[in-house]
Structure 1
């Protein structure tokens, strides 16, 4: 063969190979484009995926050096959504796929099983559903399989047991079920096995003990029964064992300290484990966390002197300890653990004294509650300078409270209730400026309440009840406006009057003063406590009538004023409050008993012991009301009426002359100040007085922090409006008025409450008068629909799923406009259901801008100056956590409030619901339900609506299931929006625009 022929053949062969190579390249390029076509990319990270460059240069794509084939696809945390195209299985050279922390949904394509070179597949934190594809077992080179935090269902495929190279199998937070296949023990290279937060059941297979390289075993929050296999305690490589929240029995077996030399975390809490804590655990010198609470462990707690790195130690809710005075000696062994932060031994059977050695601990949280501990509080307790929470409630501690506790200036929670403490409350408590909760109830404390507590300006809860405290209630305590959960001073020997400062407790939910010796009249300032839901003042010596201003307490649900010396007629305004329980017993009330509202029920209302009462409904068994007058009385009455009439006519003539003079002068000022040249309606004090029927309580719509809102009919337009009258005696009311005017005069949006005009002038007595006039919203507030009173519940339809979605979108639209579409960002600062108003067509409108701020504040100094003193407090439960530690106002704060509002709309639960305690809140509740079954958190009214909808449909059963799945998917997406918006850390929250996009 000639040289030229050989050359020609080689050239042809090279051309063929090049075309084959180009064809393989084309397979990868087309697969990537098909992948892109199936997903949404709101941030444009895939904008480089086009023909202007080779696909190996596209974002997130890595190719091999020897060939131009895709080896890694890394698009984690890029806000992508959609489905994963089956064409991904065509990229046969893929070794790694990372799509975690996105919003992919639908099933995981079984085409992943074609990727025989695949070593890492990470799809966690998406919304994948369906079953785990069994043909993933074909990926024989797989090292990491992470499918956690999705919506996967079905069993764990036994085929996966053939993946002999697999090192990490992570499936937590799904809805997987069934048993763990015993063949899982064949995964001889496995180092991490995580399946917590699923619905696995049955026993834990002994074959797990074959996984000699296993470091992390996480089986928590499933339904496992039986015992923990002893074979697990022989896996010497284990650093973490977590089998918490199952139904396991038996004990902790094996020689822990020797067979598990590398163990760092033992978490077996909330099971039914019994027996003692093994002595050998003290040899596990690498332990960082021991979490064995909520079991049935018994006996003496061993020493931990060899464990220096322990960070958390929680053995709460067991039966540890006994009758020995040395029960708490193990605490001294923990002083070697210099990194120990949290120590919980509450709700056991410990006896004896608290040893003085605790002064050498460096802990931040210390819980010894509900044991049988006796003796006194050691003075060394004042050396725990890092302590943030101290709970010794429910023991037999006696003696005085050490003055040195005042040194714990980081303390946020102090609970010494239900002990036998005596002496006075130390003045040094005033040094605890970070204190949020203080419980000293049910002791033998005496003396006066120290006024130094006024320095605890972050206090949300104060309970000093059931002691022997005496003297007056310090006005400074009533001036603690931070108190919002409850203030309990009941069952003491306090005397004097209730201070006028009680009106500063505007955010307080519950006030208990019962069982004291308080006297004089209940101050009218209590009407400012508009958030109060429960008021107990029974068993005192209060006298006179109930203040009429209490009609402003629209949130009041429980009122108990029994066993006092109150008199006069029972006020009619009690009918209009949302009371569910009312006790007026054993006073001196007289006259006719009202018949509306709470008075319709003799079960909810008690009036016994008021001998001068009459009338009412038959269930109250009161005598009829009679109004008889003698002839002489009638003649005398007529004479008095004639004299009064003549005197009144003369007086009226004089007063009208004076009023005309004042009206002419002041109305001129009012008109001048309330008028404008921009087409706004001109109104005066006289106009608004007439429009509301003299500010009649029958026209009262609600109360806010700085005033009252009335329904009114304006003469000028003959239209119904909402009129907000500012209470200028409240601190910050005038500044709130300026702030609201400043915002409302600048903004216009269909989902913001429209302001018609403002009035700033004087009333007929020459006092300052300020008011805002709004467009009237006929369907009231969102709060009234989500949490209706008994009467509203009967009168109104329930909010449907579609209506709730639309209202959420309306609110998001309003916030998006405020944050992004005005010349400078505006932060509302007080978003909550009561500030979302609904028009005739149930469209949502955001209102109440009394706390609003412009950003950046430096560009609008006037508003900064006038609003800074008002303070951005918002409303408890809706205010962003960072505001509580002094962070600046931001749009992320509004997003947090919006997230809470969305969760409240679809769960039907307020963020301050009684069920939320011990660290559980609305955010964590819904997040846990989302990981389990979303319907656990959904408002039962919505679930009923969906159920009735399915009944009306004449479709096949399988189609009904599909329908429910689609509705469930919708609910999941909505709840996810609420959760993402209400993250604790502001930087983790999504922008309101993204929330709006998802909801739309």
Structure 2
């Protein structure tokens, strides 16, 4: 029986509707599948454009659905990507724009990688985005305006990059934004007042940029703000009062700006939740508000280097206070109770750092300091007007590592119980009025690295117990009334490396022979005492010593011949003693820049070489038996009565000299003959470029190198090849540089190097043994230089990053020492030669390492004398050599035709420093699109510096830390000291490699800073 018509119609309609729904579902499925494909292709494009050395993206292939790929999270209701998390995976390269196609993305974590180029505006297409982390990369360019389209953004972190330009006011439309971090970039301009509209903002971090102008008053509208960081910028004016009314604030930082004005008196009542206030290095003034004590949650209070004045209020309610630094202000009321506020800090049971240095505090240190927290690690009261005695309660601060009280008027005895502070590393009580004896218990401080007691009224003997302090790097007991002999235990402290100063006391007796143990000491001062007898010959073992002061004593006898071993000595002062005998000729071969021999009993002829060429650098007055020397010294001529044998000897010398001259003329004529008829010659003629050097021939060099065998080839340079060889004459292993005279400029390079090496002598310059200029067996020109062989090769052969494979890796201290060696060499060439010399080709392959891994600069083939006009020999070389140096190391101004200068060498030195400590070569592939090693280093200074340091060094530092036996906080402090050293090193590299020559650091300043860094490292290593 059939259906009624109405039912048949309904049935047909339902069937059509079902079909339509099924078709619509299929279409939607196809559309969704198409969107899936968009996500997959976007990820594959992302993978194709970046560098993935660790292979973390290896799972990104067709064997798995992209929702299962590493770092990818998809939504539960659909198969679209919602989270991309690839942070800290060592990824690098240029980020492709296709990431903007991942339209369902809510969270992006790409921080701590090596991405570069600009941040693509396509991020602005991600309307669902809530969290975007691109910090700790190398992004450049401006902040994309289209990021303001991401209206759902909660967290935006673009810090630690190289972004530049102004802050886009358009970002103020992100009303849901809770965290905005743009710190450590190169941003400029003002903070837009419209940022006061970011009503949800809790964290606002803009530190370490180049922002200027005033801090907008509108920031006080951010009622949810708890973290405000504006430090290290160029802000001027006052801190808006509205900011001090944001009661949610826990962190307020604005260090190193140009801010002025005072802190509001009710600060402690309006910012009751404040945990840290950091305002150092500004121009703030007024007094510290009394209300500050009401901010009971405060942990860090740091306002040094401002103009605060007046009395310091109580901090008794701050039980959580850890860091308290009010140094370098004008605080102090001029009353005897200036320091009573210290007693209020006894309630801070976790106090770690307490610094009140460089103020105007008067009166005594209260006894209550013995009740300060035992967690205290650093206590500084130096450079004030403090009087009274040092309370014996200081012995209770058992975890104290640094105690600095120099530059006050503290009197009385040094407490004998100071020996209880067995963790003390730095003790400075200098420039006070301490009296009595140095306590024997000071020898219990076995972790001491620096002990400074100079400028007091201490008397009695130097305690021999100081010999227990085996980690001492610096000891200064000068300008006291100490008497008796110098204890042998003191001069036997081989750890001493910075300086040992015992001057201006009443010490007697002889200098102990144990002084030879001071092999690493840089400076020794014994002047102004009553020392007698001869200078011990063991002093020649002090091979690192640069300054030796022994004047104003009663030393006698001749200068020991072992002084000739002190190749690093620059300053020698032995004036006003009773020394006698002839002045040794070897003093002229040392690198002395200042020599004082005055008021002794020296006799005979004054040498004329080295430091004796300058009457300004050398003082010899008061020695009545001296004669000769250069005219500037105004000494009488040396008149010797000749015996018959003397006359015969003199005649013999004249005959020998005449014969030598004739032989020399004959040799030169032979040389001319060879030049004219050399095609008939089958053997070579050789000569040394400096009189008195070892003569070698082509044949001897051919034999020494096994026929210039490739097995003896050490390397190939711009103008020739270097071989390892064994000279028959001396049985010495040498390095032989054979010039390739077919290369344009090679002959002039040979002349330049001979001329340079003839004039220079320095422990950090490769020593030339001889040279050979003649013909090979075919009558062709042959030129070679013979150097000392460096067993450790060149710096270029050593791995200064983990990817290098040859030889042993250089440690942190070795790299610093090599950097100092190179700086010493350049400082000598630039400032201490008779005519300044510019090396023009400083690079790792031209820094050689001896058995002790001492750095020696070599290859003077491009060297220039300044001014060049006075050196005709080199006047025509510039046209043949062209740009002076090697790509990546050559100063940029040379490429535009500028004349060579010492600043050009400094640029190369800066690049060398950055390469040594980052492990990046200036020619690495990563340096493109405006990024170079200088900018990489500069970005590292603004970032966490360890991010740019060679991973090999970071591993070494970690191992050192693991060896420490101190508590965890102590390790953190140790890391901070190492990190500080790394920052200073990178700063030297960056400052030396500025594009503008005028902005570059002088090499002498760089040397001084590096030596200070080495001292810090030695202290750290001694502790570890």
* Fold-level similarity (TM above 0.5): yes
Which of 766, 788, 805 in structure 2 is aligned with 1:722?
788
Alignment of 1:457-536 (within 5 A): 457-536=470-549
1:430 aligns with 2:443: yes
Q: State the secondary structure of the residue aligned to 1:230.
A: coil
Counterpart contact for 1:437–1:459, Cα < 8 Å = yes
Counterpart contact for 1:530–1:703, Cα < 8 Å = no
Alignment of 1:801-812 (within 5 A): 804=843
Q: State the secondary structure of the residue aligned to 1:393.
A: coil
Counterpart contact for 2:733–2:789, Cα < 8 Å = no
Which of 95, 118, 125 in structure 1 is aligned with 2:136?
125
Out of 47-56 and 472-481, give the one that drifted further: 47-56
1:451 aligns with 2:464: yes
1:205 aligns with 2:216: yes
Aligned to 1:621: 634
Shift of 1:34: 1.4
Distance 1:689 1:98 in 2: 61
Distance 2:648 2:95 in 1: 94
Distance 1:548 1:60 in 2: 71
Counterpart contact for 1:516–1:539, Cα < 8 Å = yes
Aligned to 1:938: 992
Counterpart contact for 2:568–2:763, Cα < 8 Å = no
- CA distance 1:882–1:574, change in 2 (3 Å): farther
Alignment of 1:147-546 (within 5 A): 147-362=158-373, 363-546=376-559
Distance 1:330 1:411 in 2: 25
Q: Provide Cα deviations, 1:9-28, integer angstroms capped at 9, x if missing partner.
A: 33322221111111111111
Shift of 1:307: 1.0
Aligned to 2:51: 40
Alignment of 1:657-676 (within 5 A): none
Aligned to 1:924: 983
Shift of 1:72: 1.2
Shift of 1:804: 2.6
Q: State the secondary structure of the residue aligned to 1:273.
A: strand
- CA distance 1:783–1:830, change in 2 (3 Å): farther
Q: State the secondary structure of the residue aligned to 1:445.
A: strand
Counterpart contact for 2:404–2:427, Cα < 8 Å = yes
Counterpart contact for 2:276–2:298, Cα < 8 Å = yes
Distance 1:291 1:781 in 2: 38
Shift of 1:261: 1.0
Shift of 1:623: 2.3
Which of 775, 798, 809 in structure 1 is aligned with 2:839?
798
TM-score by length of 1: 0.71
Aligned to 2:855: 833
Out of 595-604 and 416-425, give the one that drifted further: 595-604
Aligned to 2:119: 108
- CA distance 1:636–1:291, change in 2 (3 Å): closer
Q: State the secondary structure of the residue aligned to 2:636.
A: coil
Counterpart contact for 1:581–1:604, Cα < 8 Å = yes
Distance 1:750 1:928 in 2: 28
Counterpart contact for 1:552–1:703, Cα < 8 Å = no
Q: State the secondary structure of the residue aligned to 1:135.
A: helix
Shift of 1:172: 1.1
Counterpart contact for 1:266–1:289, Cα < 8 Å = yes
Matched positions, count: 771
1:597 aligns with 2:663: no
Shift of 1:563: 1.2
- CA distance 1:472–1:786, change in 2 (3 Å): same
1:551 aligns with 2:561: no
Shift of 1:242: 0.5
Distance 2:347 2:852 in 1: 48
Counterpart contact for 2:564–2:590, Cα < 8 Å = yes
Distance 1:102 1:690 in 2: 47
Counterpart contact for 2:433–2:457, Cα < 8 Å = yes
Shift of 1:159: 0.7
Distance 2:511 2:954 in 1: 30
Aligned to 1:563: 576
Aligned to 2:73: 62
CA RMSD of aligned residues (A): 4.0
Shift of 1:5: 4.0
Shift of 1:228: 1.1
1:31 aligns with 2:27: no
Counterpart contact for 1:438–1:461, Cα < 8 Å = yes
Shift of 1:102: 1.1
Aligned to 1:859: none
Counterpart contact for 2:839–2:860, Cα < 8 Å = no
- CA distance 1:918–1:445, change in 2 (3 Å): farther
Shift of 1:508: 0.9
Aligned to 2:657: none
Distance 2:85 2:961 in 1: 38
Q: Provide Cα deviations, 1:136-172, integer angstroms capped at 9, x if missing partner.
A: 1111111111111111111111111111111111111
Distance 1:68 1:245 in 2: 50
Which of 105, 114, 134 in structure 2 is aligned with 1:94?
105
Q: Provide Cα deviations, 1:844-903, integer angstroms capped at 9, x if missing partner.
A: 9xxxxxxxxxxxxxxxxxxxxxxxxxxxxxxxx999667877949xxxxxxxxxxxxxxx
Aligned to 1:18: 29
Name stretches of at least 5 consecutive residues in structure 2 with no aligned partner.
Answer: 1-11, 652-710, 713-723, 736-757, 773-783, 793-797, 799-803, 809-819, 863-884, 890-952, 965-975, 1001-1009
Counterpart contact for 2:725–2:734, Cα < 8 Å = no
Distance 2:236 2:759 in 1: 62
Shift of 1:946: 12
Q: Provide Cα deviations, 1:604-651, integer angstroms capped at 9, x if missing partner.
A: 22222222222222222222233333669869999xxxxxxxxxxxxx
Distance 1:306 1:3 in 2: 80
Q: Provide Cα deviations, 1:944-998, integer angstroms capped at 9, x if missing partner.
A: 4999xxxxxxxxxxxxxxxxxxxxxxxxxxx9xx99xx99999xxxxxxxxxxxx
Q: State the secondary structure of the residue aligned to 1:395.
A: coil
- CA distance 1:110–1:805, change in 2 (3 Å): farther
Q: Provide Cα deviations, 1:79-112, integer angstroms capped at 9, x if missing partner.
A: 1111111111111111111111111111111111
TM-score by length of 2: 0.69
Distance 1:341 1:177 in 2: 36
Aligned to 1:143: 154
Aligned to 2:874: none
Distance 1:686 1:482 in 2: 41
Shift of 1:372: 0.9
- CA distance 1:9–1:500, change in 2 (3 Å): same
Q: State the secondary structure of the residue aligned to 1:258.
A: helix
Which of 55, 61, 74 in structure 2 is aligned with 1:50?
61
